[in-house]
A = this chain, B = another copy of it.
Amino acid sequence: MKNRIRETWAENRPVVNGWLSIPSTVTAEINARAGFDSLTVDLQHGLNDYQSALNLLQIISIGKSAPLVRVPWLEPGIVGKLLDAGAVGLICPMINSAEDAARLVRYALYAPAGERSFGPTRAIMAHGPDYARVANEQIVTLAMVETKQALDELDGIVATSGLTGVYIGPSDLSLSMGYTPKLDPEEPAVVSAIQRILETAKTAGMRAGIHCLSPAYAREMISMGFDLVTVGSDIRILTSATVAALEAVRS
């Protein structure tokens, strides 16, 4: 079993992550062949559920990107199902306390470190016979820090044993702080909160990731020290490019 996220980090490079919101094996294959370090199947705000996620995780195996998922909620059933389906990393929304973060880790790891139930049906196909032995050290868990409450409890979250890192959701963070929800925020208070999360995570030895929209913002976040940046999403990229093409013909 290999996890290209850990390999990329071992080479001191940031992970560039693609985002799959569309439940289509065709759009997934386009992304799987594009060259991302990792690809995340989004089951929260993306238009996927387990069955489409399974299909997309299969398709990601065509290429070399590490397969990640964003789970819809902190719930043990779906966490287990997606790891069994071959995800090597989890992004979990709305981690607002150390207790939430600890639950995420418990759901993701086998005993004695956690309480994940054993039965890696597709994971063992996709990652090989040593899966059971090395899964606990290979799987990546990223806790979304995206509320004022999470900011207040940040020290506890980043101190969670077994957690790999934090992942910032700028839209919810902005909303929670009283601003209009948006990606790639420029609002000084939000930017400052992002910097504080980054520094707190890195000081605690955690990895830090952030959800971005434009390539330019993502590049800036890499410069700032983030270990993982998400760029756009399949649905936003297709929508923008389609509208732009149509306007270009009509102009």
Contact = CB atoms under 8 A, between A and B. Distances in A.
A232 interface: yes
A77 B24 CA distance: 22
A218 interface: yes
A234 interface: yes
A242 B117 contact: no
B172 A218 contact: no
B61 A72 contact: no
| Number of identical protomers | 6
Interface residues of A, number: 89
Contact of A16 (B58, B59, B250): B250
Interface string A120-157: 11100100000010000000000000110000000000
Contacts of A73: 75-77, 80
B245 A215 contact: yes
Nearest to A71: B77
A45 B121 contact: yes
Contacts of A132: 180-181
A184 interface: no
Contacts of A51: 23, 48-49, 51-52
A52 B26 CA distance: 13
A10 interface: no
Contacts of A6: none
Interface string A42-56: 011111111110110
Given A29-B125, A78-B72, A175 B110 contact: yes
Contacts of A45: 80-81, 84, 117-121
State the 10 A-B residue pairs at the shortest beta-carbon distance, nearest first: A45-B119, A73-B77, A215-B248, A24-B24, A72-B77, A241-B241, A49-B50, A118-B181, A118-B171, A215-B249
